[in-house]
Chain A
Amino acid sequence: GENVEQHPSTLSVQEGDSAVIKCTYSDSASNYFPWYKQELGKGPQLIIDIRSNVGEKKDQRIAVTLNKTAKHFSLHITETQPEDSAVYFCAARFRSGYALNFGKGTSLLVTP
């Protein structure tokens, strides 16, 4: 089936450290990979995305890398801050449809 696997499910880091969340996908024809951040009581918010013709994209402290051969992509957050604490979801758009398939989420806790 069309799956997105996300690891780890929980991640705790100290303020100032880096955090890395990894996802793998099953459909080699997938072409769009966004990351969402969900804070308590809110809907998921798009924080960065990457398309299959690009290997890396960066936006200030956030970066996403894509390895099409291995079918995995990762979110990197540097210099983490307590306000980065949230649940992060990766997603992929599969060839067979128009919608996004989401991973099960990573709960990130940044401790001061």
Chain B
Amino acid sequence: DSGVTQTPKHLITATGQRVTLRCSPRSGDLSVYWYQQSLDQGLQFLIQYYNGEERAKGNILERFSAQQFPDLHSELNLSSLELGDSALYFCASSEGQGAYGYTFGSGTRLTVV
């Protein structure tokens, strides 16, 4: 157990729908990072939050959004889902703002049908 908790583990939904993925960081970690992993694109950075504020943005689509709450858990919202959004979504956390010592969760597998 890495200490980073992601729920749900699996999610199957239809095109056009909206889903929310949840991540609880390791105790003491203030940064949360979201990544998308697909077979052909590897691990793609989506967005980072530090202590409730957005810190960095990667290749995140406008249909996707995220936030970090006062208790430091984070949610990734995916809307108007397309077949191509099917992927593994990972959350990672670290103590500070810098990307040292990332710890990943076990991921949420999203399947859009």
Interface residues of A (CB under 8 A from B): 32, 34, 36, 41-46, 49, 89, 93, 97-105
Q: Is the CB of B43 within 8 A of A98?
A: no
Q: Most A CB atoms within 10 A — which of B55, B58, B92, B102? A: B102
Contacts of B41 in A (CB 8 A): 104
Known contacts A97-B56, A103-B42; A43 and B102 CB within 8 A of each other = no
Q: Is the CB of B97 within 8 A of A98?
A: yes
Contacts of A43 in B (CB 8 A): 2, 4, 90, 92, 104-107
Interface residues of B (CB under 8 A from A): 2, 4, 31, 33, 35, 41-43, 45, 48, 50, 55-56, 58, 90, 92, 97-107
Closest Cβ–Cβ distance, residue A83 to chain B (whole Å): 18
Contacts of B35 in A (CB 8 A): 102
Return 22 A-B CB contacts under 8 Å, by A number.
Answer: A32-B99, A32-B100, A41-B106, A43-B2, A43-B90, A44-B43, A45-B104, A93-B98, A93-B99, A97-B58, A98-B48, A98-B50, A98-B55, A98-B56, A98-B98, A99-B48, A99-B58, A100-B102, A101-B45, A102-B35, A102-B43, A104-B41
Q: Is the CB of B43 within 8 A of A89?
A: yes
Contacts of B97 in A (CB 8 A): 98
Contacts of B103 in A (CB 8 A): 46
Contacts of A46 in B (CB 8 A): 101-103
- Determine the residue in chain A with the shortest Cβ distance to B103: A46
Q: Is the CB of A99 within 8 A of B42?
A: no
Q: How far is the CA of A64 from the CA of B103 in the complex (A)?
A: 19
Known contacts A43-B105, A46-B102, A105-B42; A99 and B33 CB within 8 A of each other = yes
